């Protein structure tokens, strides 16, 4: 089992890792696919990295998308400030992702992204017996070794890709980044076609037989079979012991489409606990071969199914299981290399596909082990970088060499395009370039101004939509199908006590008090009549305490209570900055609704302006105190940071 599961990455260790070990320069060169500064100047600007989306997951589980940066220093400053627990890499867009709100939605689209593959050990849970869920061990990690070998060879030999970066996910899987230029520019349809070509195992948890092969195997499948044959017995039969118990062997037998063979093998194995999975597999293969030979004509459909059944079982239990959704869409994000897994503390290091058999996930450097290694390092005469003092050195060296290969190819292609005698870049006059840039800047500023959201109500969110509005509540009073809300903070238990339990108890007491000596019940006060009377009283009481019959102040109190429950750190928290900002938002929305219907109410118009400015001050204070709490709060309230930071004009 995973022996380092509890070695979590603390914020202090993450900050230490980013400041001392994270390869910012190589990272930017990789995502930029360009390292020649002269070429960048001649091309006016290199937008590969500037238009790349980077998304951060913070320690509070806040997820911040559509970040983009100008270069290494910009990225480093932001990461050191945010200290994210995870960095996801997205596509290259037509404009900077951080400026997406300033442009039309149709103008913001992905144009380039590496072809990525995600293989997770949890997809093997139905076939592995040693572990399950997030846990892994050396036995089940061999599935990842087979996956890397099969997919790597297929991508190189069948599609001609050269620059493949395999990365350990930090816990229980591997990722593959295909960085060739022709792979980065593939459309979603082309990506889906490649995934369909590689996907052999198809079907969900309810499908027993997930592999359907033809009698004549495709060359790609024959090559994959040779790899599978080298590992099948060791991984599936010995390590996983898939034929060791009835629960496991029944899954294997379900792949055979012959009830007689299933029944025969089940009876034989039920009475024999001494046989190993290897011996049982030999019996299964012999039964399939015998049944195929006696099933009639050799080319009959049943004979073909029995002959290929052995291979289908081997593929189902050994072939890579891809997360197809990750690879099909260009705008899908994936965790980048050299992140730190927040649960295990392990660094997401590259894996050399040629030596993947020797890769041990339990020996991967963790942030705490790197900290210890750096402290124990004895300085020599030659000055070296921090990563060279630790076990992270071979992984960063490998990553550096990989990026040099991709950058060299991109640099040569850019030189050819730039220095060609017919290149329009060399013929363009500086005045035209300057005029074009000024016009572009003005159009962006105008678009940004036009896209600025309302500083009062912001953008509707789940929270703001859930707030009760007086007009809607009063209209719903006559609708029998509308949701009912109670005043005075009555909850479901209170409603059950007042309107169901109490009437029944009172009716029973009335019945008991009106019994006569001969134990006959007075007709006037029988149980049915008393209960009806009490239920009428309960309905009257329900109408009195209903929020639909209350005033606007009661509805406001209801919304404020709901706001404290949503934003408060505990049930008594009414003074934190988040709660104050949220309560002010509730009051602002309520007053804004009132002013919409009463245009001449100048007094409340001034009050609305004061509330908006007060909320702005509180949110600015919150940003100074805690950046994570600030972003979480404005996201829930549907407010835009540009409005909060700028001058508010109402």
Whole-number Å distance between alpha carbons of 221 and 546: 68
Whole-number Å distance between alpha carbons of 177 and 167: 8
Name the active-site residue from 118, 152, 511, 534.
118
Name the active-site residue from 120, 239, 323, 534.
120
**Site of tokens 């940004």:** 448
Residue 65 host element (H or E):
strand 63-67
Q: Tell me, rounded to whole angstroms, the distance of Cα 410 from its chain centroid.
A: 31
* Residue 301 structure tokens: 């459909």
Nearest to 239 by CA among 138, 156, 314: 138
For residue 24, CA distances in Å to 5, 53, 143, 166 come to: 27, 16, 32, 19
Contact 612/648 with Cβ under 8 angstroms? yes
**Site of tokens 């930029």:** 32
Whole-number Å distance between alpha carbons of 222 and 616: 65
* Alpha helices by DSSP H, 294-349: 301-318, 324-328
Angle (CA) 153-154-160 rounded to 5° is: 95
Nearest to 319 by CA among 219, 236, 216: 236
Name the active-site residue from 53, 123, 241, 578.
53
Beta bridge partners of 319: none
118 is a catalytic site residue:
yes
120 is a catalytic site residue:
yes
Whole-number Å distance between alpha carbons of 601 and 615: 22
Residue 595 host element (H or E):
helix 577-597
Whole-number Å distance between alpha carbons of 234 and 220: 23
The catalytic residue positions are 53, 118, 120
């Amino acid at each position: 089992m995973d022996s380092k599961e509890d070695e979590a990455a603390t914020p202090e260790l993450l900050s230490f890792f980013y400041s001392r070990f994270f390869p910012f320069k190589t990272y930017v060169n990789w995502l930029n696919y360009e390292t020649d500064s002269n070429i960048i100047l001649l091309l006016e600007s290199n937008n590969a990295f500037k238009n790349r989306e980077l998304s951060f997951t913070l320690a509070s589980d806040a997820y911040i998308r559509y970040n983009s940066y100008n270069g290494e220093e910009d990225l480093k400053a932001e990461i050191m400030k945010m200290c994210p627990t995870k960095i996801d890499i997205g596509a290259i867009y037509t404009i900077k992702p951080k400026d997406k709100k300033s442009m039309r939605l149709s103008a913001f689209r992905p144009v380039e992204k590496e072809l990525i593959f995600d293989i997770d050990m949890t997809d093997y849970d139905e076939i592995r017996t040693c572990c399950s869920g997030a846990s892994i061990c050396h036995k089940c990690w061999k599935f990842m070794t087979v996956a890397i070998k099969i997919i790597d060879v297929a991508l190189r030999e069948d599609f001609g890709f050269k620059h493949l970066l395999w990365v350990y996910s930090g816990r229980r899987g591997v990722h593959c980044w295909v960085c060739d230029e022709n792979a980065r520019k593939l459309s979603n349809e082309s990506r889906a076609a490649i995934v369909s070509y590689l996907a052999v195992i198809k079907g969900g948890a309810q499908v027993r037989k997930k592999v359907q092969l033809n009698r004549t195997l495709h060359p790609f499948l024959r090559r994959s079979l040779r790899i599978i044959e080298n590992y099948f017995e060791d991984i599936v039969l010995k390590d996983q012991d898939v034929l060791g118990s009835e629960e496991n062997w029944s899954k294997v037998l379900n792949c055979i489409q012959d009830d007689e063979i299933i029944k025969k093998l089940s009876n034989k194995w039920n009475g024999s606990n001494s046989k190993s999975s290897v011996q049982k597999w030999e019996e299964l293969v012999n039964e399939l071969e015998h049944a195929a030979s006696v099933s009639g004509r050799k080319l009959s459909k049943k004979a073909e199914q029995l002959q290929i059944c052995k291979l289908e079982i081997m593929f189902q239990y050994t072939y890579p299981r891809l997360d197809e959704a990750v690879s099909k869409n260009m705008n899908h994000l994936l965790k980048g290399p050299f992140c730190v897994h927040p649960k295990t503390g392990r660094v997401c290091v590259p894996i050399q596909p040629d030596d993947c058999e020797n890769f041990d996930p339990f020996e991967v450097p963790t942030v705490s082990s790197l900290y210890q290694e750096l402290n124990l390092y004895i300085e020599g005469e030659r000055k070296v970088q921090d990563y060279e003092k630790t076990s992270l050195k071979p992984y960063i060296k490998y990553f550096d060499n990989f990026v040099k290969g991709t950058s060299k190819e991109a640099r040569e292609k850019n030189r050819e395009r730039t220095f060609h005698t017919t290149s329009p870049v060399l013929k363009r006059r500086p005045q035209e370039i300057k005029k074009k840039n000024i016009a572009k800047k003005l159009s962006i500023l105008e678009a940004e101004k036009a896209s600025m959201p309302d500083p009062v109500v912001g953008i509707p969110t789940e929270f703001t939509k859930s707030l009760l509005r007086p007009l809607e509540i009063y209209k719903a009073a006559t609708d029998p199908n509308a949701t009912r809300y109670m005043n005075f903070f009555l909850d479901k238990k209170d409603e059950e006590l007042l309107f169901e339990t109490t009437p029944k108890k009172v009716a029973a007491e009335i019945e008991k008090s009106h019994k006569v000596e001969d134990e006959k019940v007075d007709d006037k006060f029988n149980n049915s009549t008393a209960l009806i009377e009490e239920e009428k009283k309960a309905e009257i009481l329900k109408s009195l305490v209903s929020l639909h019959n209350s005033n606007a102040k009661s509805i406001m109190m209801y919304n404020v209570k709901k706001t404290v429950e949503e934003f408060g750190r505990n049930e008594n928290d009414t003074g934190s900055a988040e709660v104050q900002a949220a309560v002010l938002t509730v009051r602002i929305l309520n007053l804004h609704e009132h002013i919409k219907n009463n245009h001449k109410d100048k007094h409340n118009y001034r009050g609305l302006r004061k509330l908006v400015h007060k909320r702005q001050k509180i949110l600015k204070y919150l940003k100074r105190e805690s950046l994570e709490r600030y972003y979480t709060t404005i996201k829930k309230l549907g407010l835009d940071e540009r409005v909060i930071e700028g001058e508010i004009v109402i």
